[in-house]
Amino acid sequence: AQSVSQHNHHVILSEAASLELGCNYSYGGTVNLFWYVQYPGQHLQLLLKYFSGDPLVKGIKGFEAEFIKSKFSFNLRKPSVQWSDTAEYFCAVNAAGGYQKVTFGTGTKLQVIP
Amino acid sequence: GAGVSQSPSNKVTEKGKDVELRCDPISGHTALYWYRQSLGQGLEFLIYFQGNSAPDKSGLPSDRFSAERTGGSVSTLTIQRTQQEDSAVYLCASSLGSGNVGGYTFGSGTRLTVV
């Protein structure tokens, strides 16, 4: 079974700072990778996803993530955060091919200070 | 509908009572999932439905939990004899198919409080 680790539980940044949220997964086979975001009072929504091809994936709102297979990592990055990026971010993984349930990490709460 | 709809949005129940949580997925989405989100616990998989196939119930924490999906659309998650540790936000998600090609679309959840 796969598992996901998000090492940062709470991150506080000032506006315009650069962001990198760590995500490591555990699974020996081919995977699909996701980042979801939950803004305050809103439901979870997909930020970006990786299935195959270019390991650098670009998502909405200027976010990107890089899949590094050798490190089993899929870190989320943004060069300059805004106050509106304050949210909780969840990394998720599932085994590629057919139905495989998605396993989520415990989430990272990002607080951006104006 | 335009999104995944869950009801009720909030439910407070007494310990020992049964509760039913409802999920109405996006029209045309064949896959439906239930997750539970507890404080500091991330999202815990509960159950998955895909079309007419037998559901994957491997995440249900006890036999007090059950779920149905009628007609390949609406799903009901039932918790019998609720306990305080059942308090959580119960999330439903749907997707186009089993491969999760497009990722999930989540509902806004049902916040269950057992007192």
- Judging contacts by C-beta atoms under 8 Å, the chain A residues touching residue B98 are 98-99
pLDDT band at A28 (very low <50, low <70, confident <90, very high): confident
Which residue in chain B is spatially nearest to A10 when comparing CA positions? B40
What DSSP string runs through A14-45? ETT--EEE--EEE-SS-EEEEEEEE-TTS--E
Please write the tens of the pLDDT for every residue from A44-90.
Answer: 999 999 988 999 999 999 999 999 999 999 999 999 999 999 999 99
Residue among A23, A37, A16 nearest A79 (CA): A16
What distance lies between CA A108 and its chain's CA centroid? Answer: 9
Question: CA of A47, closest CA in chain B: separation in Å?
Answer: 10
Q: Rounded to an integer, what distance in angstroms lies between the CA atom of residue B59 and that of residue B34?
A: 9
| Cβ-defined contact of B106 to A107 (cutoff 8 Å) | no
Nearest-neighbour CA in chain B from A46: distance (Å)? 7
- Whether omega before B8 lies within 30 degrees of 0, making that bond cis, reads yes
Are B44 and B38 a contacting pair, CB within 8 Å?
Answer: yes
Residues B45-90: tens digit of each pLDDT: 999 998 888 899 999 999 999 999 988 789 999 999 999 999 999 9
